[in-house]
Amino acid sequence: MAHPLQLGLQDASSPIMEELLYFHDHALMIVFLISSLVLYTISLMLTTKLMHTSTMNAQMVETMWTILPAAILTSIALPSLRILYMTDEINNPLLTIKTMGHQWYWSYEYTDYMDLNFDSYMIPTLDLKPGELRLLEVDNRTVLPMETPIRMLISSEDVLHSWAVPSLGLKTDAIPGRLNQTTLSATRPGLFYGQCSEICGSNHSFMPIVLELIPLKHFETWSALTS
């Protein structure tokens, strides 16, 4: 989850998010290097009394500042495409969960081998217990097994929503009439928070998502209890 005064991305809890973190560091480093180079050059230009008023051609520098940006862009594009294709890999999910966006809550359906269906509303600020997170806690958390690929099918019952969990690198639009698939795979147990990411009306900021990832054995116990 996010913490106050956070500067970077949330800690990664899925393999794809780890890759995205590294990619973000790589791209940001390039951005910082180029910005410092440009700022340095500007400062050099502005702090000299020398002048050169007869530049006719500058073949060498023109070639350099064409080839070098092309190389930099390639070094950004290649890892980016690698990660993009990684998100499309075929994996064999162990479980299928459906989530439907409503105004203004999420509902979850576990129908592989049980008829479980529940709504997940945000806990109002006045009802929070001490230590709970404002605008992020929900009454019924989505319980899932960790370290297993899970097929998430996301749709909506009314308007556009978007189901996002940043620490797992997930964000998928919930579109009425369409069933969007994404794969969820957490590397560790814990609580992972997210918020609706597509404007959907007055309470768009108040329909969070909380995933509770637990070991498979405990998930089997939980699912036996709830079915």
Partner 1 sequence: MLDVEAQKPPNGKWWTPPFDPRFPNQNQTRNCYQNFLDYHRCVKTMSRRGKSTQPCEYYFRVYYSLCPISWVNRWNEQIRNGTFAGKI
SS3 133: coil
Does 221 sit near partner 1 (CB under 8 A)? Answer: no
| CA nearest to 219, candidates 154, 165, 142, 138 | 142
Among 151, 191, 206, 214, binds partner 1 (CB under 8 A): 151
Among 30, 76, 79, 98, binds partner 1 (CB under 8 A): 98
Does 139 sit near partner 1 (CB under 8 A)? Answer: no
Backbone angles phi, psi at 155, to 5 degrees: -150, -175
Q: Quick one: which segment of 11-19, 35-43, 105-113, 189-197 binds partner 1 (CB under 8 A)?
A: 105-113
Going 191 to 192 to 195 to 196, the CA torsion angle's sign is negative
Does 28 sit near partner 1 (CB under 8 A)? Answer: no
Does 41 sit near partner 1 (CB under 8 A)? Answer: no
Among 13, 155, 195, 197, binds partner 1 (CB under 8 A): 155
Spatial separation of the C-alpha atoms in residues 67 and 62, rounded to whole Å: 9
Spatial separation of the C-alpha atoms in residues 219 and 140, rounded to whole Å: 15
Tokens of 157: 């019952």
Among 18, 109, 158, 198, binds partner 1 (CB under 8 A): 109
Spatial separation of the C-alpha atoms in residues 103 and 157, rounded to whole Å: 8
Does 26 sit near partner 1 (CB under 8 A)? Answer: no
Among 80, 96, 103, 140, binds partner 1 (CB under 8 A): 96
Does 158 sit near partner 1 (CB under 8 A)? Answer: no
The minimum distance between CB 161 and partner 1, in angstroms, equals 14
Spacing of C-alpha 162 from chain mean position: 11
Among 76, 94, 133, 191, binds partner 1 (CB under 8 A): 94
Does 180 sit near partner 1 (CB under 8 A)? Answer: yes
Q: Which residue, 80 or 96, is less far from partner 1 as judged by CB?
A: 96
Contact (CB, 8 A) for 112 and 96: yes
Q: Which residue, 98 or 204, is less far from partner 1 as judged by CB?
A: 98
Q: Which residues pair with 100 in a beta bridge?
A: 107, 155
Residue found by looking up tokens 């709830």 in the block: 226
The minimum distance between CB 187 and partner 1, in angstroms, equals 20
Helices 15-46, 59-87: inter-axial angle, 10-degree rounding: 160
* Max CA distance (Å), the chain: 84
The minimum distance between CB 219 and partner 1, in angstroms, equals 10
SS3 140: coil
Q: Which residues form the interface with partner 1 (CB under 8 A)?
A: 90, 92-96, 98, 100, 109, 111-115, 117, 151, 153, 155, 157, 172, 177-182, 220, 224
